[in-house]
Structure 1
Amino acid sequence: MGDTSVGGLKGLVAALRGQQDALTERWMKLVFGDQEVEHSDQLTYRQLADHLPSIFDEICIVLESRNLRDQEGAIERDARQHGQWRWQQGYRVDELVRELDLFRQVLLLAIGEYAGAHADFSREDEEHARLMTDEVVSFVTLASIREAIGERDRKIDEYTGMLERANYELTLRQKLISDLYETRMQITRRVAHDLRNFLNVFSTALQLATRSAAKRETALGLASRQVADMATLVDEMVEYSKVLGDDSVLIVEPFDILGLFDELMQACRVSTESKGLKLVGHLDPGLGAVTSNRLKVKQVALNLLSNAIKYTSSGEILLSIATVPGDRWKLLVADTGVGISAADQERVFEEFERAADDDIPGAGLGLAIVKELSRTLGGELRFQSSKGHGSVFEVTFPLVLEPKAAEGQ
């Protein structure tokens, strides 16, 4: 180093600042040639020397002021940024420590060279400069390590969160698979049970027909009723499969409620009269056209009405359509049938659940179909029931159903 007219630590600082580029080159050669800093080979000149100027300048200020405390905040900020960058560049903690130790060696060597070239630089100043340099580099190393470890821990927390979410999703998928399996077993058991009853009744009918000609009419009637019951079961299963498998865009358009009301009353009149039931209808005169999917609304109504008729042996069936506050309208079906006990009410909308004995035909899918269609139509489904006192089912729909955009749009 060349002579300087400024003595003591100020002269050293001036010399170090003047030799900053040369000292940086010396340090980089050591880093690139050190086998313990493996990841340095993957960095450019700029990436390797990114925070060195800032840290170098902080060391010079500390040497000049003889006070580390005043610069701790700035040094820690630069050191933490250095540790963060090195972690992002793939450095291990031991490589970070080694790199900064080589920086320490370069600075201490420069101090020694300056002391050897300047007789006026006292031994006391040299020892102080070495101690302050060592303390600052140790502080930088500690702050850098803490930041690198913090980055590692944050990344571990991120990966842990991802693993926990993946595990949660996997658990949900496993439960879904288990539920699907259980549903499949329910279908198998239900169909097997109903087919067995179907065959038993047919066997009984054949036996009656073969025993005497007088009983053939009875046998044929028995067989006909059983065919009708099986047809009902198959129709329900086919309808439910169509509802679940319908992924087409929902068609929404205005339609007249009065026309739908008349269709529903006409469709149910024969079945109610055949059971001796009274069919009562009420339509709000202030309700005109609504915007929804007419076919699916009709499916909801027919399933509720069919269910009410099926489980009612005497009394009446009520169909009511009326407006409700909040730009909505409601479809209500009430009956005086067997009702639903409190124990069965939580599972009444589940597939293959029936709140009555097996002598009533069906697969227990009617209310499951209502639930799925109501969800599709933006409806809110509620019901009230008690054992032996009938049931009231109510679905509240929006007056104008906003169609959902197709996936991918």
Structure 2
Amino acid sequence: MSDTPVGGLNGLVAALRAQQTALTERWMKLVFGDNEVEHSDQLTYRQLADHLPSIFEEICVVLESRNLRDQEGSIEHNACQHGQWRWQQGYHIDELVRELDLFRQVLLGAIGEYASVGAHLSREDEEHARLMTDEVVSFVTLASIREAVSERDRKIDEYTGMLERANYELTLRQKLIGDLYETRMQITRRVAHDLRNFLNVFSTALQLATRSAAKRETALGLAQRQVADMATLVDEMVEYSKVLGDDSILTVDPFDVVELFDELMQACRVATEAKGLKLVGQLDTTLGAVTSNRLKVKQVALNLLSNAIKYTTSGEIVLSINAAPDDRWRLRVTDTGVGIGADDQERVFEEFERAAGDDIPGAGLGLAIVKELCRTLEGELKFQSSKGQGSVFEVSFPLVLEPKASAKNE
């Protein structure tokens, strides 16, 4: 290193700054040739140098001012960035320490070269320069290691969080698989139970028919009722499977509530009259048109009405449609049927759950279908009931349902 007319530490600093590029090249050659810094081979010259110019300049400032404390904040910032980058570039801690130690050796060598030819650098200034350089590089090394370790810990926390989320999702999937398996077993048990009952009644009907000709009409009527009940069971299961398997885009269109009301009343009149029930309709004619999926809304209403008719032996069924607060409209079905006891109300919307005995046909899926459809249509479903006092089922729908993908696709 050539001498400089500036004396003391200022001359040394000026010489170091003048030789910055050469010193950086010297350091990079050492790093690239060092077997202990394996990951340096994967970096470009620019990536390897990254924060070195800033750290180099900080050392020069410290040597000029003879004060490390004033520069600690700036040095620590650059050192932390250096440590973060090296960790992201795949460095191990020992590689980071080694390359900074090589940087220390290059600087101390440059100081020694200047001292050997620079008559204006006293022994005391040389020792001070060495100590300050050593102290700054040690500070940089410590800060870089601390940041690299912090970066590693953040990654560990991130991976741990990902692992915990994956484990949670796996647990949920396992539970879902278990629930699906239990549902399948429920279906099997329920269908087997109902089919056994149907077959028993068929067997009784056949025995009646073979015993005497006079009882053949009775046997035939009994068999026909069983066929109708079996058809009801199959229809409910098919309908529920379609509702659960519907992954199509939910379409919405405006439709006239008055026309829907008339259709529902007409559809239920025969069934109510056949049981000697009174069908009452209450309609808010000012409601006008609403925007939703008309077919699914009708499906909700028919399931509630057929459920009410099924569980009512005397009295009346009331269908009411009217406006509701908060830009919604309300569909309500009231019956004077058997009602639902307090112990059964929590499970009434679950699959294959029925509050009545086995003498009433059905798979216990009607209200489960209603619940699933209401979720799709953003309907708020609630009910009131008591044993022997009938039930009131009410659903409020938005006046305008925004079209969107089926929730199964979200």
- Taking structure 1 as the reference length, the TM-score comes to 0.96
Aligned pair 1:26/2:20, yes or no?
Answer: no
Aligned pair 1:131/2:127, yes or no?
Answer: no
Q: Deviations over 1:339-376 (max 9, x none)?
A: 11222111111111111111110000001111112222
CA distance, structure 2, for counterparts of residue 32 and residue 213 of structure 1: 106
Match of 1:8 in 2: 8
Structure 2 counterpart of 1:338, one-letter code? V
CA distance, structure 2, for counterparts of residue 6 and residue 265 of structure 1: 106
- Superposed CA RMSD in Å reads 1.7
Percent identity over the alignment is 86
Structure 1 counterpart of 2:322, one-letter code? A
Q: Which stretch has the larger CA shift, 240-249 or 100-109?
A: 240-249
Match of 2:161 in 1: 161
SS at match of 1:287: coil
CA distance, structure 1, for counterparts of residue 241 and residue 46 of structure 2: 64
Q: Which stretch has the larger CA shift, 109-118 or 250-259?
A: 250-259
Structure 2 counterpart of 1:329, one-letter code? W
Aligned pair 1:77/2:77, yes or no?
Answer: yes
The answer to whether the 8 A contact 2:261-2:283 is kept is yes
Counterparts in 2 of 1:228 and 1:314: CA distance versus 1, 3 Å: same
Counterparts in 2 of 1:17 and 1:321: CA distance versus 1, 3 Å: same
Match of 2:360 in 1: 360
CA distance, structure 1, for counterparts of residue 364 and residue 340 of structure 2: 13
CA distance, structure 2, for counterparts of residue 124 and residue 291 of structure 1: 90
Aligned pair 1:271/2:271, yes or no?
Answer: yes
Q: Which stretch has the larger CA shift, 323-332 or 351-360?
A: 323-332
Q: Which stretch has the larger CA shift, 399-408 or 12-21?
A: 399-408
CA distance, structure 2, for counterparts of residue 368 and residue 400 of structure 1: 24
The answer to whether the 8 A contact 2:376-2:406 is kept is no
SS at match of 2:234: helix
Structure 2 counterpart of 1:182, one-letter code? E
Aligned pair 1:297/2:297, yes or no?
Answer: yes
Structure 1 residue 273: deviation in Å? 2.0
Match of 1:314 in 2: 314
SS at match of 2:25: helix
Runs of 4+ aligned structure 1 residues displaced above 3 Å come to 405-409
Match of 2:246 in 1: 246
Match of 1:54 in 2: 54
Match of 2:369 in 1: 369
CA distance, structure 2, for counterparts of residue 266 and residue 3 of structure 1: 109
Structure 1 residue 211: deviation in Å? 1.2
Q: How does 1:138-177 map to 2 (within 5 A)?
A: 138-177=138-177
Match of 2:379 in 1: 379
Q: How does 1:200-215 map to 2 (within 5 A)?
A: 200-215=200-215
Structure 1 residue 120: deviation in Å? 4.1
List alignment gaps of at least 5 residues for structure 2: none
Match of 2:228 in 1: 228
Structure 2 counterpart of 1:142, one-letter code? L
Match of 1:390 in 2: 390
CA distance, structure 2, for counterparts of residue 155 and residue 163 of structure 1: 12
Structure 1 residue 132: deviation in Å? 0.7
The answer to whether the 8 A contact 2:250-2:405 is kept is no
CA distance, structure 2, for counterparts of residue 251 and residue 5 of structure 1: 86
Match of 2:334 in 1: 334
Q: Deviations over 1:98-151 (max 9, x none)?
A: 000001111111112222223442222221111111100000000111111111
Structure 1 residue 406: deviation in Å? 7.8
Match of 1:117 in 2: 117
Counterparts in 2 of 1:249 and 1:6: CA distance versus 1, 3 Å: closer
SS at match of 2:351: coil
CA distance, structure 2, for counterparts of residue 104 and residue 225 of structure 1: 97
Structure 1 residue 405: deviation in Å? 5.2
CA distance, structure 1, for counterparts of residue 34 and residue 162 of structure 2: 37
Structure 1 residue 155: deviation in Å? 1.4
Q: Deviations over 1:82-107 (max 9, x none)?
A: 11111121111110000000011111
CA distance, structure 1, for counterparts of residue 39 and residue 364 of structure 2: 67
SS at match of 1:208: helix
CA distance, structure 2, for counterparts of residue 35 and residue 251 of structure 1: 66
Match of 2:186 in 1: 186
Counterparts in 2 of 1:293 and 1:22: CA distance versus 1, 3 Å: closer
Structure 2 counterpart of 1:370, one-letter code? V
Counterparts in 2 of 1:184 and 1:134: CA distance versus 1, 3 Å: same
CA distance, structure 1, for counterparts of residue 252 and residue 76 of structure 2: 63
Counterparts in 2 of 1:251 and 1:107: CA distance versus 1, 3 Å: closer
Counterparts in 2 of 1:29 and 1:234: CA distance versus 1, 3 Å: same
CA distance, structure 2, for counterparts of residue 406 and residue 379 of structure 1: 14
- Taking structure 2 as the reference length, the TM-score comes to 0.96
SS at match of 1:231: helix
Structure 2 counterpart of 1:185, one-letter code? M
The answer to whether the 8 A contact 2:248-2:405 is kept is no
Match of 2:351 in 1: 351
Structure 1 counterpart of 2:260, one-letter code? L
Structure 2 counterpart of 1:229, one-letter code? D
Structure 1 counterpart of 2:234, one-letter code? V
Match of 1:284 in 2: 284
Match of 2:39 in 1: 39
Q: Which stretch has the larger CA shift, 271-280 or 93-102?
A: 271-280
Structure 1 residue 264: deviation in Å? 1.6
Structure 2 counterpart of 1:368, one-letter code? A
Match of 2:98 in 1: 98
CA distance, structure 1, for counterparts of residue 21 and residue 264 of structure 2: 91
